[in-house]
Amino acid sequence: MLRFASLASGSDGNALVIEAREAGAAASTCVLVDCGLNLRDTERRLARHGLEPSAIRGILVTHEHGDHAGCVFDFAAAHGVTVYLTHGSLIALQDEGKVIDGVRLSILTSREPLAIDGLEVRPFTVPHDAREPVQFVLSDGAARLGVLTDIGIGTPHVVEALAGLDALVLECNYDRDMLWNGAYPRWLKERIAGPFGHLDNEDSARLLAALERSRLKHVVAAHLSQKNNRAELARRALAGALGCEESWIGIATQDDGFAWREA
Ligand SMILES: [Zn+2]
Ligand SMILES: [Zn+2]
């Protein structure tokens, strides 16, 4: 059984929790992908999803930006959790003084999958303005969940990495008109819309349409900008790509993330 939920999603902080449990087994494997909330908020939201911090076996870090990595070392130090991250993310976090001595580290590379107990993790590279960003496909050996946020442009490599998923958490960062007509300074608009920034709703819809998705049972739009996007616009774009009901597309919110789903 593979299930997943979000504690929060958006530019104020991201954290996704994934649990793998073998049929009939008492114990399960729980990991976080990113931890960009503060420590108390992370603990409170884990409790809301029925989890103790001690249940978390590891934190997989996509990249060093504060909305993803801001609380990684605080949480890991407080609860004795291993941090899995690329060498580039580690160096960037060291440069920012965010790395806490004594926290167990495991260095990821996009060339090699890894196993955390019963959970198989495949990191893959993405174009984003960070030192060595990755995103992940996670599997319990049966179902596969893809996580893709913070990517400037869909690439053939990403389309290949996300083929044959059962579930996908997919960035829908902004609506193009809302961004360009909005109040952000020009340099920031160009950064967000650039090839190392974020996906807009139409980019995400095109990427989704390009995937091999014969097994796909869940699509959740994530990392929506609170200033430059609206849930109904993201839903409409992704539903258009799939030819499905708009209500079938899930939304990950900044305040609540989303509830458990089973892949
Ligand atoms: Zn982000
Ligand atoms: Zn980022």
- Residue 26's pLDDT is 76
Q: Which ligand is nearest to the CA of 174?
A: 1
Residue 27 CA to ligand 2 center (angstroms) comes to 33
Residue 16 CA to ligand 1 center (angstroms) comes to 12
Nearest to 238 by CA among 247, 258, 262, 127: 247
Residue 156, pLDDT above cutoff 80: yes
d(CA 93, CA 96): 5
- Residue 176's pLDDT is 98
Residue 222 CA to ligand 1 center (angstroms) comes to 10
Per-residue pLDDT band at 15 (split at 50, 70, 90):
very high
Residue 96 CA to ligand 2 center (angstroms) comes to 15
Residue 149 CA to ligand 2 center (angstroms) comes to 8
pLDDT in tens, 205-226: 999 999 999 999 999 999 999 9
Contact 257, 6 (CB under 8 A): yes
- Residue 25's pLDDT is 77
Residue 21 CA to ligand 2 center (angstroms) comes to 30
Residue 159, pLDDT above cutoff 80: yes
pLDDT in tens, 228-253: 999 999 999 999 999 999 999 999 99
pLDDT in tens, 91-139: 999 999 999 999 999 999 999 999 999 999 999 999 999 999 999 999 9
Q: Record the pTM.
A: 0.97
Judge residue 121's burial from the number of C-beta atoms within 10 Å of its C-beta, 0-12 exposed, 13-18 middle, 19 or more buried. Answer: buried
Q: Which ligand is nearest to the CA of 127?
A: 2
